[in-house]
Structure 1
């Protein structure tokens, strides 16, 4: 029996040699999964392996996933995709109403492989899968920048479990941003190093089908990031090569957007007619404050006042947020673990890991100056 077990192990190790290497990506992925389970651990082990967050998550997103599940299985069984969904009163356009909530999310499709009764459990598993995916992609991005393996893995963990996750625990469809955003950065770096533009195209497409809401913002940011990095690296290439790189970059952004246009354009046209869009007067208020030279209003519009909570009450306890979030993430977008309040400012949930990052930032700035890499100071000054 022992000999058979030994032969079996040797066979497995021969087929999968990475199992013998404790530093392999396989075990790193297991570490990410373990952290993800711990992140949701209390809910998973007390709520039948679900994460029943309050607010929009239980009131909307769980129900949406049942609806999406039924729509996709209708398509698989009949070959007809549900374009007009009658599950809401008189019905709604399925594309413009439900793609915002994840109808075409890549993380929806594994859920379809399991019985309908397990949807809440599978949603919890997909939460962890999003974090793990984001961490693995972010490691690739850092490696592309030349960061050593141990540092890349450490900061990939920090990225995968950053405050964005705490902020949007209850807003399930925003998770994809943390999963696919590193692909955009990685794709830009690949192009700047004269590699093929496929990763950038795929990254933009995945963002478009999973969360078009952030696609436009990321495109603006991506172009700014690409130009900054282009001017940093331009001397490493000939003039002809630089023009080729610019062409690849413009083409990749255009193709990525075109691949997602069948979702992006209908949703944009629909959103512009929505009451929320008509009531969105932030830009108008900014222009009026600037024209009237109302500097106080302008300051309040640009810099959110942290002096009061959502109920308008004094919130002096906010000075504790950096200290609390240094050790513990927010429980959700509404609650923090160490302060007994019911009106936690959810924006502040994204501070988690922020404090240690700021500590490292000062060291990085000093190191940048010491190595005379002054171009690194430009984005620091900008942001």
Structure 2
């Protein structure tokens, strides 16, 4: 017992020492160059932002409990997009991950250090979990050490560890879940399996789905190893047993898993019909040998997230597995199955939730390869002469020859990997037959760490692929979200009104910064978005190409008014991007200027008529936006039944006739635009009108080619807007093909709009036209909607309160995103919440004075809590019963 304990302590001590050395060599690049661990884009505005927000969120709960003796969980935040559910939006990034609870101890200004520490802890724990898995299967010695180091410092970790920190979590959970599966097969207690299943499901629904698939594959392999073949009398009881324990773990996780899963499944991104090729491009396969040893961070994401980058000793172990003795057949078949999945696009489609093709499950493949190293390591010095010769030929001849053959795709990190593979084989051959293996073990550890350090060098070094440039400077992330964000100018105005939004155009938006500055905005960027908001954006053909990211409302005056935009931010000196009515300059600094308007709608405004579905569906996009300033459109599965009058719609938009001229290598063939060289353009010449916004509308926009995205530039006079469109081959594609590009408001008539194609290829545009929206009736329509408004508005945790007085029955529209989680109480009586005017909450109110209260609860949270409580109660009853039986 003492020797076992000493051996266990020894392996963990050795691992910790190797981890520290390797970690310094890997992440020392960030420290040495004064970089934070925060990736430039998603890292700042999603991951780091969420961690800082979560810390404030947890501290607020504690302070409310201590000071007010109330236990309140905020579930809705109006400062996230147009209003978002906190749990379902942020579960993907922080809420549910046990490690992020530490954020409660760290102020926002110091979150950067916690962020880095958590990345290191996640990587360390993944190696620890791997060691626990190996030791459960009676593996000991230096093979376990090498396997743990190669597992926790694979290319996937180097690439994603700081880029997407929570991508490392499944590497911690999977080994422990697999131990739980083995315990069940060995008729031991199932609580590790149940507990880790619950934690994994709570932590991240997306990766739990992948883990579940790997769990099934592993359980099938273990069953075949035990019974040799499938027999009904054994397989049925095992299926029932695993199903029962799995459902128990999932049931415990239901308070977070159920709301998050339902939220994700309701997004257009999940339902979009992405392009699924039969095979990957040949170039993708050709790069696999080279990329086995390293990571090209520039190409990793576009190439279906097939991020490899393994230590060369892994390849040596794999060679020995495939060319040596007949043992370890289960590992050979496991490698064959997972490798096949890695090479078939449809498998990436399935593993990614039947969405776009992505191999983000490759961390599981890395665990298999690391375990192959663990199992084959004892065989390294016991090879037959024929096996040694074969190994020498493969490592020292075949690999270099293959790299030369694929020299078009060869890189320095690939040659380093092949060289280190040869060095490893040479050391193995020299040490073969030695009685003392300490030198060989030390040499393997050194070569492995050197290989990983070399991989990090080629990844991070400014002299190589320079991944460093993708990370923010030390101290910058929190400043970017707060005092250096454009909206800080709006915050400094200290507007005491209870509600107003800001919008911006002509500058790079910093999404989600309103969360930190406690403002209300028109920008958002998280992996899943409110379905009502996405539906509104599709109805309005907004210019944002990504469903889950929007940087404002394209400066469209009507949309800004509907959403209560009081302040508009533009780059200093670029007032041409201002919408109509924003003529009062209220703040500025060296980069930005803020303008204000009084002609916008308040948080709660009213409509005295409704637009029927039949009428709505016949309207053009420009007519739809005008209609929303005249009446209320109520969405739902059936036509809204009301005795309110139908809106008598009046439209004043103009679609001018135009002539097209071309510039550059472009041919127009019907509705196809054949662009021979990027930069070619078409110009629409027309006779415009004064005092209007001019729109270029593209319906049925598609690209015939293999590109995942393409860029276009729309210009009118001194307004230039660069736009990006994603194709069905892109992971961000959500099925959107109709776009309205606003070329801005102008007092004088315009006569030309130019569309420039920034990519060569064949473009299809089913319908292309110009539309001009005069501003002459907007102020009158806005004032009409402000005749009766919600007053005395109060925002509290999960509640909105206000009063309103009406002379007649009207629809009250609240300027926050609709969700099934809202319940309304008018004068104390519950009333149905309507989805009004696209994405907003609406209430039908009779004439008279009313007190309106809105209460929010995350959809499916209560059923999830009930299921979880039943599962936990069942566990307690089961344990009491077991104890009594004993």
TM-score range, shorter chain: 0.7 to 0.9
> 2:133 pairs with 141, 151, 164, which one?
141
| Counterpart residue number, 2:38 | 52
| Counterpart residue number, 2:90 | 98
Seen in structure 2, the aligned counterparts of structure 1 residues 63 and 21 have a Cα distance that, compared at 3 Å, is closer
> 1:362 pairs with 310, 319, 324, which one?
319
| Contact 2:131-2:144 at 8 Å conserved across structures | yes
| Counterpart residue number, 2:334 | 379
C-alpha separation between the residues in 2 aligned to 1:240 and 1:172? Answer: 44
Cα offset, 1:256, TM superposition? 1.4
Residue 230 (structure 1) aligned with residue 223 (structure 2)? yes
| Contact 1:143-1:149 at 8 Å conserved across structures | no
| Counterpart residue number, 1:170 | 163
Listed as ranges, the matches of 1:178-189 within 5 Å are 178-189=171-182
| Counterpart residue number, 2:256 | 263
Seen in structure 2, the aligned counterparts of structure 1 residues 21 and 212 have a Cα distance that, compared at 3 Å, is closer
Cα offset, 1:226, TM superposition? 0.6
Listed as ranges, the matches of 1:118-133 within 5 Å are 118-133=110-125
Structure in which a larger fraction of residues adopt strand: 2
> 1:202 pairs with 195, 207, 227, which one?
195
| Contact 1:64-1:101 at 8 Å conserved across structures | yes
Seen in structure 2, the aligned counterparts of structure 1 residues 149 and 81 have a Cα distance that, compared at 3 Å, is farther
Residue 32 (structure 1) aligned with residue 39 (structure 2)? no
In structure 1, the gaps of 5 or more residues are: 1-16, 287-300, 309-317, 336-342
| Contact 1:37-1:128 at 8 Å conserved across structures | no
Q: Secondary structure at the match of 1:104?
A: coil
C-alpha separation between the residues in 2 aligned to 1:351 and 1:89? Answer: 35
> Could you state the TM-score of these two structures normalised by the residue count of structure 2?
0.34
Seen in structure 2, the aligned counterparts of structure 1 residues 202 and 367 have a Cα distance that, compared at 3 Å, is farther
| Contact 1:194-1:245 at 8 Å conserved across structures | no
1:270-319 Cα deviation digits (max 9, x unpaired): 1222121232x24xx66xxxxxxxxxxxxxx14322538xxxxxxxxx96
Listed as ranges, the matches of 1:292-307 within 5 Å are 301-305=277-281, 307=283
Seen in structure 2, the aligned counterparts of structure 1 residues 352 and 242 have a Cα distance that, compared at 3 Å, is same
C-alpha separation between the residues in 2 aligned to 1:249 and 1:149? Answer: 32
> 1:61 pairs with 37, 47, 53, which one?
47
| Contact 1:183-1:199 at 8 Å conserved across structures | yes
| Counterpart residue number, 1:276 | 269
Seen in structure 2, the aligned counterparts of structure 1 residues 212 and 150 have a Cα distance that, compared at 3 Å, is same
C-alpha separation between the residues in 2 aligned to 1:172 and 1:77? Answer: 28
1:217-268 Cα deviation digits (max 9, x unpaired): 2112212211220121137xxx999876555422221111111222222122
| Contact 1:205-1:256 at 8 Å conserved across structures | yes
Seen in structure 2, the aligned counterparts of structure 1 residues 194 and 368 have a Cα distance that, compared at 3 Å, is farther
1:155-179 Cα deviation digits (max 9, x unpaired): 0111111122134241222221112
Residue 74 (structure 1) aligned with residue 38 (structure 2)? no
| Contact 2:97-2:202 at 8 Å conserved across structures | yes
1:168-210 Cα deviation digits (max 9, x unpaired): 2412222211121111111112222221111111221221122
| Contact 2:202-2:256 at 8 Å conserved across structures | yes
C-alpha separation between the residues in 2 aligned to 1:122 and 1:197? Answer: 34
> Could you state the TM-score of these two structures normalised by the residue count of structure 1?
0.74
Q: Secondary structure at the match of 2:187?
A: coil
| Contact 2:75-2:86 at 8 Å conserved across structures | yes
In structure 2, the gaps of 5 or more residues are: 65-70, 341-886
Cα offset, 1:37, TM superposition? 3.5
| Contact 1:166-1:350 at 8 Å conserved across structures | no
| Contact 2:321-2:332 at 8 Å conserved across structures | no
Cα offset, 1:355, TM superposition? 5.4
Q: Secondary structure at the match of 1:100?
A: coil
C-alpha separation between the residues in 1 aligned to 2:11 and 2:317? Answer: 27
Seen in structure 2, the aligned counterparts of structure 1 residues 345 and 273 have a Cα distance that, compared at 3 Å, is closer
| Counterpart residue number, 2:148 | 156
What's the C-alpha RMSD, in Å, of the aligned pairs?
3.3
| Contact 2:75-2:85 at 8 Å conserved across structures | yes
Q: Secondary structure at the match of 2:307?
A: helix
Q: Which stretch has the larger CA shift, 354-363 or 100-109?
A: 354-363
C-alpha separation between the residues in 2 aligned to 1:134 and 1:70? Answer: 28
| Contact 2:150-2:310 at 8 Å conserved across structures | yes
Q: How many residues align?
A: 326
C-alpha separation between the residues in 1 aligned to 2:292 and 2:213? Answer: 30
> 1:113 pairs with 75, 88, 105, which one?
105
Structure in which a larger fraction of residues adopt helix: 1
C-alpha separation between the residues in 2 aligned to 1:104 and 1:162? Answer: 25
C-alpha separation between the residues in 1 aligned to 2:9 and 2:173? Answer: 27
| Counterpart residue number, 1:330 | 295
| Counterpart residue number, 1:41 | 28
Cα offset, 1:22, TM superposition? 8.3
| Counterpart residue number, 1:340 | none
C-alpha separation between the residues in 1 aligned to 2:99 and 2:264? Answer: 24
C-alpha separation between the residues in 2 aligned to 1:213 and 1:183? Answer: 18
| Contact 1:368-1:376 at 8 Å conserved across structures | no
| Contact 2:54-2:104 at 8 Å conserved across structures | no
> 1:85 pairs with 66, 74, 77, which one?
77
| Contact 1:84-1:92 at 8 Å conserved across structures | yes
Cα offset, 1:359, TM superposition? 3.4
Seen in structure 2, the aligned counterparts of structure 1 residues 45 and 82 have a Cα distance that, compared at 3 Å, is farther
| Contact 1:208-1:215 at 8 Å conserved across structures | yes
C-alpha separation between the residues in 2 aligned to 1:71 and 1:306? Answer: 48
